[in-house]
């Protein structure tokens, strides 16, 4: 029987990255694509609890069912699995995100929010991102990598509670290898730029740059992306630190 | 020198839980409270990247500086640390959340989003939640537990990259012990209730109940809460699965 593939993203149903993804995945199964109406970058695993959701079915795209939802990436996965799909999908594929979700970005990413939500349902789930912020980023160059990884995951599955954060280097058309890595240590050196509105009231806009704290470590996603290598980070849904005995002092 | 304590939450600056928290923490140091303008339950680590933030200073409350921000819990922590505080705080305390953040709820919780963001800055951070959805929930009964745990964390610190998810049982006034536990395995059995708007267009509202998959396991947060025990789960910010060698088949 044909496999059922659920696709979502955080760049919205209008994004080029998700259209390229849908076209490629059509060769691997039946595709249903459920995406946010509005861009949802940085929405992490946010879900809508205090507002209603509206779902709009759009025209099919290359044989895939297309839906837009006025919510977050997590909302899209939830309402797809609970209400829109005929059965639990075989895989959740999120992306292709326009910009890197390497290092600490994994925790803020709406694309990875969708993948983690798939994981919460016990569905093998993968998020794909392209390390490019150019407006005309070429997502088609990602497709051989996407197809290769999705095929493997569909064949072999993933352990329960673990999904994949796949980041592709900007020059992915000539990628050197696919490497299983870890999130690079580092932090955002944030600052808020101050502006004044027409009534001279201040408002603030987030700016800043990522500071890599282990630039020489070849096992990190950032190093791989800087060296033309596709990075795959296995990501755990359950954030419990596994050695509670180290915290017994809290209970005394 | 007096310690600097940053307080936030996800139930908004109007919430009773954060006011009780601020009053208690005043005995432990200088308190600055920066909370969302609107309720942000279920906002996880969402942050605002495509919109400006506005910050409003309110009247002091029991000697604490109070600010409201038109953003998420993560935004509150970021703008507090980057723009509002005189220096990096000694601790971030989030809550007291109105409702449990045990089990899988940790990943959706805006309260824990604030604590995790504190952790991302390298600040010892703790999120507190009370397992009660009653409108008149008695947060004052939580205060001895809050004070005890915050004191210990201020004395001893926390390992880098780890924060605490503290959940208090509904009968916390008579709590039996404080136990270091793990997130209980389980999942939300979601369903979307369907409604019709006045123009007969459908909309959906999330409902559902939590299914505990290990109800007999005494080391879980859910078991403790059901048995009058305060649960402390150490939570990792970095979700990387630590054994990449198990995923080498993806790279072949």
What's the confidence (pLDDT) of residue B252? 79
* pLDDT of res. B113: 98
State the nearest Cα–Cα gap between B171 and chain A, in angstroms: 18
A194-219 pLDDT, tens digit per residue, is 999 999 999 999 998 999 999 999 99
Say which of B46, B122, B244 has its CB closest to residue A43.
Answer: B46
**CA-to-CA distance for B4 and B92, rounded, in angstroms?**
9
Query: How close is the nearest chain A Cα to the Cα of B46, in Å?
Result: 4
- Percent of the residues in chain A that have a pLDDT greater than 90, as a whole number: 94
| CA A80-A77-A141 angle, 5° bins | 110
Residue closest to A227 by CA, chosen among A167, A142, A152: A167
Q: Which of B131, B135, B66 has its CA nearest to residue B96?
A: B131
pLDDT digits (tens, 9 = 90+) for B170-192: 999 999 999 999 999 998 888 89
Per-residue model confidence (pLDDT) at position A133 = 85
Separation CA B225–CA B208 (nearest Å): 20
Name the residue in chain A with its Cα closest to that of B242. Answer: A182
pTM passes above 0.90? yes
B107–A55 CB contact, under 8 Å:
no
Q: Which among B44, B188, B219 has CB closest to A45? A: B44
- Nearest-Cα distance to chain A for B220, in Å, is 11
Q: How would you label A144-162 residue by residue, b for 16+ Cβ within 10 Å and e otherwise?
A: ebbeebbebbbeeebeeeb
Mean per-residue pLDDT, B196-212:
94
What digits encode the pLDDT tens for the residues A33-76? 999 999 999 999 999 998 999 999 999 999 999 999 999 999 99
Is the Cβ pair A46, B49 closer than 8 Å? Answer: no
* Percent of chain A whose predicted confidence (pLDDT) is above 70: 100
**Chain segment B227-241, per-residue pLDDT in tens:** 999 999 999 999 999
**Above 90 in pLDDT, residue A252?**
no
Alpha carbon distance A200, A217 (integer Å):
47
What is the pLDDT at residue A1? 79
Nearest residue of chain B to residue A186 (CA atoms): B120
| pLDDT reported for residue B133 | 85
Cβ contacts of residue A157 below 8 Å, gap of 6+? A124
pLDDT, average across residues A115-126: 98
Instruction: Out of B55, B108, B182, name the one closest to residue A244 (CB).
Output: B182
A153 vs A103: CA distance, rounded Å: 22
Q: Give the nearest partner residue to B180 out of A75, A204, A250, using CB atoms.
A: A250
Band (B146; pLDDT cuts 50, 70, 90): very high
> Which residue does chain A place closest to B183, by CA atoms?
A240
Q: What are B61-117's pLDDT values in tens digits?
A: 999 999 999 999 999 999 999 999 999 999 999 999 999 999 999 999 999 999 999
Q: Which of A42, A111, A175, A236 to mutate to test the interface with B (most CBs of B within 10 A)?
A: A42
Find which of B176, B238, B252 to mutate to test the A interface (most A CBs within 10 Å of its CB).
Answer: B238
What secondary structure letter does DSSP report for A185? P
Average pLDDT over residues B51-58: 96
CB contact set of A17 (below 8 Å; sequence gap of 6+): A9, A11, A95, A96, A97, A98, A130, A137, A139
**Minimal C-alpha gap between A62 and chain B (Å):** 27
Amino acid A181: pLDDT: 96
In the A/B pair of chains, how many CB contacts fall below 8 A?
219
Of B108, B237, B249, the CB nearest to A45: B108
Q: How far is residue B191's CA from residue B201's CA, in Å, rounded to a whole number?
A: 19
- How do residues A122-143 score in pLDDT, each as one tens digit? 999 999 999 998 989 999 999 9
CA gap B143, A4 in Å, rounded: 50
pLDDT score, position B1: 79
Q: What is the ipTM of this complex?
A: 0.96
The pLDDT of B2-16, averaged and rounded, is 97
Cβ <8 Å between A107 and B181: no
């Amino acid at each position: 029987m044909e496999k059922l593939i659920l696709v979502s993203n955080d760049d919205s149903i209008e994004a080029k990255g998700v259209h390229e993804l849908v076209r490629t995945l059509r060769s691997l199964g039946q595709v249903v694509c459920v995406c946010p109406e509005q861009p949802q970058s940085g929405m992490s695993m946010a879900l809508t609890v205090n507002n209603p959701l509206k779902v709009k079915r759009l025209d099919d795209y290359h044989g895939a069912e297309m839906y837009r939802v006025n919510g977050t990436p997590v909302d899209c996965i939830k309402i797809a699995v609970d209400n829109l799909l005929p059965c639990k999908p075989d895989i959740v594929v999120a992306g292709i995100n326009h910009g890197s979700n390497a290092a600490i970005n994994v925790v803020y990413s709406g694309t990875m929010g969708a993948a983690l939500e798939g994981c919460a349902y016990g569905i093998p789930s993968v998020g794909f991102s392209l390390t490019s912020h150019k407006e005309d980023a070429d997502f088609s160059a990602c497709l051989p990598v996407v197809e290769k990884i999705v095929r493997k995951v569909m064949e072999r599955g993933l352990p329960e509670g673990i999904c994949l954060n796949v980041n592709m280097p900007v020059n992915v058309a000539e990628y050197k290898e696919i490497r299983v890595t870890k999130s690079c240590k580092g932090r955002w050196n944030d600052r808020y730029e101050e502006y004044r509105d027409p009534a001279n009231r201040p408002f603030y806009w987030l700016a800043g740059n990522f500071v890599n704290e282990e630039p020489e470590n070849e096992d990190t996603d950032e190093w791989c992306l800087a060296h033309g290598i596709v990075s795959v980070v296995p990501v755990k849904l359950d954030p419990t630190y596994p050695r509670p005995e180290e915290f017994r002092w809290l209970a005394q």
